Structure 1
Amino acid sequence: MPKEILEILEIFKKFNHKAYLVGGALRDYLLGKKPHDFDVATDATPDEVCIIFEGNILHEAGREFGTIAIEYKGYEVEIATFRLEGLYRNHRKPKELVFTKNIEDDLARRDFTVNAMAMDMEGNLTDLYGGKEDLENKIIRCVGDAQERIEEDALRIIRAVRFCGTLNFNMDDELKIVIKEKGHLLKEIAKERIQVEFNGIMLSDKPSASLDLMEELGLLEILFQDLKRTVGYNQKTPYHIKTLFDHIKCVVDSTDKVLEVRLAALFHDIAKPWTLCVDESGVGHFFGHDEMGADMAKNILREYKYSNKVIDKVILLISEHMKVSGKLTDKALRRQIRRVGFENIFDLYDLLMADRACTSIDGDIGDLEYNLSRVKQILMEDKRVKEKNYLCIDGKDIIELGFKEGKIIGEILKYANELTLDNPKLNEKEILLDIINREFR
């Protein structure tokens, strides 16, 4: 445990307050992992915390819930006052919060046993609900009655799935039964809150574990109804040895931990059930599933309140995932870089390679590796390919040559663009203007 975190606990003790390390950092510490996301629980009120750590306050956004964020010697720490929670309303928020003076009350309100432990500065563990044993047995179990915990805050449904997936734990049987019965309560939870938990799933080491659990518990149909249709779906093609949902999970797992790439992987083939066309040989084709899938993904991501920046990149990647076939010429690759953007090109190839590897029997990605190597070389040799305006000339330059405004300007620029994509060495102002003079006079 970082000594700086222990120092925080010691500072509270000097001010005659009790303080404990709680939450994810303690859980990681007990699992032998490097702790992060530090949370401290204390009997000090928010006002007292602000006095004790005057000069270290980061923000007080959670003050109404008794939480103050501080920065201490390079560590960001959330400090929360021990509290009791009254009845919950709408399966989301407690109607009232009451500060208390003992850690036992605070731990009793928590969601799962593995999150309901506290450790003081001497390393003494307060574990009233068997959290340490559940960590050892790799079990996610509710504190007390599972139905009560889920009905208090239905977000705990997706949190339980996230913890099982990210920690590679199993879910307690009682909790499974409750989630199957109460999964519909997620419809009452703010989409933004669900998004945060789902992002944690998508950025885990193996998102497919959580996706499988969501399917088992009936949550896939509740949260992503269109994705549910891919489960067990036979693609009717020799190029796919997996069912559609299994293929999607494979692609998600095979991509880097980049949110937009993982989301694109999740939704890249979502439109296939709507675009299936079977030829005379009985082989399935999915014409236009990339564009339709991009539209479907956009609607889903908007529903879950993703930023426009995230949405734009996801739909770009999905729209582009069918536009590469075999080894491409340098000209075609320059077009691709210009179309996709150099800032997105490597993420696109990450998706393409994962898609290919999870598609065919041999998963050969040789042509994609070749294309990617050429992309890297092009980016090194042709600096202008990264710029917003690839051509070193514009319409004004052409008019200054004596051409009149009108359709001819666009035709000349199009010609120059094709010329330089084919041979970037010609992308010099004097060279291009000389060529234009010769070709269009």
Structure 2
Amino acid sequence: MPMNHNFLENWPFDVLFEAFTQQGEEVYLVGGAVRDLLLGKRPGDWDFTSSAEPDKIAAILAEAFPEHTLILKGKRFGTIGIDLSDAAEDVSFEITAFRKEESYTDGRHPEEVAFQASIFEDVRRRDFTVNGLWMDRHGAIFDAVGGFSDLKEKKIRCIGQADERFDEDRLRKWRCVRFAAQIGGQIDAHTRDAIIEAPTTDGVSVERIQIEFSKMLTGPDAAFAVRELKATGLWDDLLRRSASEDLPEPVTEKINEVPSDLAMRLAWLLQNGSADRVRAFLKGLRFSNQIVREVTVLLNFSTLDCRDIVKFKTALRQMGAPLFEKALALQKVKSDNAQNRVVFIKIVNDHEPIVPSDLAIGGRDLKSLGFHGRQIGDVLARLLRWVYQSPKQNQREALLERAKAWRDQENKNEGKQSE
């Protein structure tokens, strides 16, 4: 299994290990960081665990890294963080005291935490075997829960009894599906059955679920993730939590071919839903206003067609080039309509006018011709539609002549009506 642990020989981790060793305390890299290293990936989070209690962890870190500020918000649960980022690299990590968790009553957080534990007790209270591995300063990996073999088989399995692990923290049901999708694997049968028997996530904030959902959709196998959500009952629970039980079936076919962009994959997944229903679903899951807007716009402009150049350019004006490109990319996955992209590239390369400010004349010019008030905006809009069809006509004299012709025609019509 590929692994690179050369980082252990580099600052700041060598300083970290040495500081705890000198104080007679154990410290190990643990959990997802070890998992990612075994998969040949650079970890997204660096988590350590130590025999030292929280106050001593804080003291050791303060002495080892005197110029940096400790992060103490997780101290209640035994976690001390520190940010060592500089202009060259982002480096931060958390160290948590060995702990035993006593009881959970809200489906998310332990009521009590005991810190006088061993590394073996610490890993046995964790969620999945692939997250129960730990590594010392020399790169030696230790496994007391079968995580190494499960990782080789690409299998996600709960440590201990699955129903107990999920009762402790119901968010683990979503993390289970996400990890399986990320490693291109499967969920252990007993673990999967435990989710099917109790897919509810009450007690977990929808914001936390949305984060897991977003990671699934932008991950390497979104199709697998959504199929598992459906098969385990987590999808129906998600619809219940977001008050969107009437949302149509999600579309997983070809979703992995969609670029790994959250708005694009959401738009693909929810393409059978109306914009209003989709918007309500996304808002119910506390997605950002930007994501809600992008998804609904992509759904509203899902049938772009350059054969109607006025509508095509009008859509470009309303969406903006970045979102328009996303719409074209989605369309390519669906129908591989290459001509739309060819036309779009030509519009961009030729700097064809798209918004009123691109016109060779403006409001002052129209005002000098006798237009006023709303007439100015109306005439600019008409001129824009005209040059959509004939971009070469975006010349000052041509536009002024066209505006004069419209003015004269309107004056003539008014004269006839007054007779």
CA distance in 1, matches of 2:376, 2:139: 75
Distance apart, 1:159 and its partner CA: 0.7
How does 1:348-387 map onto structure 2 within 5 Å? Answer: 348-356=327-335, 365=336, 368-382=337-351, 384-385=353-354
> Where does residue 276 of structure 1 map in the other structure?
none
**Paired residues of 1:146 and 1:175 also in contact (CA < 8 A):** yes
Q: Which amino acid is the alignment partner of residue 402 of structure 1?
A: G
**Paired residues of 1:220 and 1:228 also in contact (CA < 8 A):** no
How does 1:12-411 map onto structure 2 within 5 Å? Answer: 12-15=16-19, 16=22, 17-44=25-52, 45=54, 46-48=57-59, 49-57=61-69, 62-65=74-77, 66-71=79-84, 74-82=89-97, 83-100=99-116, 102-184=118-200, 186-224=201-239, 248-270=251-273, 293-321=274-302, 323-325=303-305, 327-356=306-335, 365=336, 368-382=337-351, 384-385=353-354, 389-406=357-374, 408-411=375-378
Distance apart, 1:253 and its partner CA: 1.9
**Paired residues of 1:251 and 1:351 also in contact (CA < 8 A):** no
Give the structure-1-normalised TM-score.
0.80
**Paired residues of 2:58 and 2:80 also in contact (CA < 8 A):** no
> Over aligned residues, Cα RMSD in angstroms?
2.6
Counterpart secondary structure, 2:84: strand
> Where does residue 281 of structure 1 map in the other structure?
none
Larger Rg: 2
CA distance in 1, matches of 2:160, 2:9: 30
Q: Which amino acid is the alignment partner of residue 78 of structure 1?
A: F
Counterpart secondary structure, 1:175: helix
**Paired residues of 2:310 and 2:389 also in contact (CA < 8 A):** yes
Counterpart secondary structure, 2:196: helix
**Paired residues of 1:330 and 1:374 also in contact (CA < 8 A):** no
CA distance in 1, matches of 2:161, 2:148: 18
Distance apart, 1:174 and its partner CA: 1.6
Counterpart secondary structure, 2:199: helix
CA distance in 2, matches of 1:432, 1:136: 69
**Paired residues of 2:352 and 2:391 also in contact (CA < 8 A):** no
Query: 1:128-178 deviations in whole A, cap 9, x for unaligned?
Result: 111101112222111112111100000001111111122122212221221
Counterpart of 2:399 (choices 418, 421, 432) is 432
> Does 2:386 align with 1:419?
yes
Alpha carbons of 1:381 and 1:217: their partners in 2 closer, same or farther (altered >3 Å)? same
> Where does residue 414 of structure 2 map in the other structure?
none
**Paired residues of 2:58 and 2:70 also in contact (CA < 8 A):** no
CA distance in 2, matches of 1:88, 1:27: 26
Counterpart secondary structure, 2:253: helix
**Paired residues of 1:92 and 1:189 also in contact (CA < 8 A):** yes
Query: 1:371-398 deviations in whole A, cap 9, x for unaligned?
Result: 111101211111653x684445444442
**Paired residues of 2:356 and 2:380 also in contact (CA < 8 A):** no
> Where does residue 415 of structure 2 map in the other structure?
none
Q: Which amino acid is the alignment partner of residue 312 of structure 2?
A: L
Q: Which amino acid is the alignment partner of residue 144 of structure 1?
A: G
CA distance in 2, matches of 1:145, 1:371: 54
CA distance in 2, matches of 1:220, 1:100: 39
The gaps in structure 1 that reach 5 residues or longer are: 232-244, 271-292, 357-364
Distance apart, 1:230 and its partner CA: 5.1
**Paired residues of 2:218 and 2:265 also in contact (CA < 8 A):** yes
* Deviates most, 161-170 or 375-384: 375-384
**Paired residues of 1:39 and 1:77 also in contact (CA < 8 A):** no
**Paired residues of 1:58 and 1:71 also in contact (CA < 8 A):** no
Q: Which amino acid is the alignment partner of residue 29 of structure 1?
A: L
Give the structure-2-normalised TM-score.
0.84
Counterpart secondary structure, 2:202: helix
Query: 1:181-234 deviations in whole A, cap 9, x for unaligned?
Result: 2212x1331000001111111011121111221222122222136689755xxx
CA distance in 2, matches of 1:38, 1:116: 14
CA distance in 2, matches of 1:43, 1:389: 66
CA distance in 2, matches of 1:130, 1:52: 34
> Where does residue 287 of structure 1 map in the other structure?
none
CA distance in 1, matches of 2:105, 2:262: 32
Q: Which amino acid is the alignment partner of residue 45 of structure 2?
A: D
Q: Which amino acid is the alignment partner of residue 376 of structure 1?
A: I
The gaps in structure 2 that reach 5 residues or longer are: 409-419
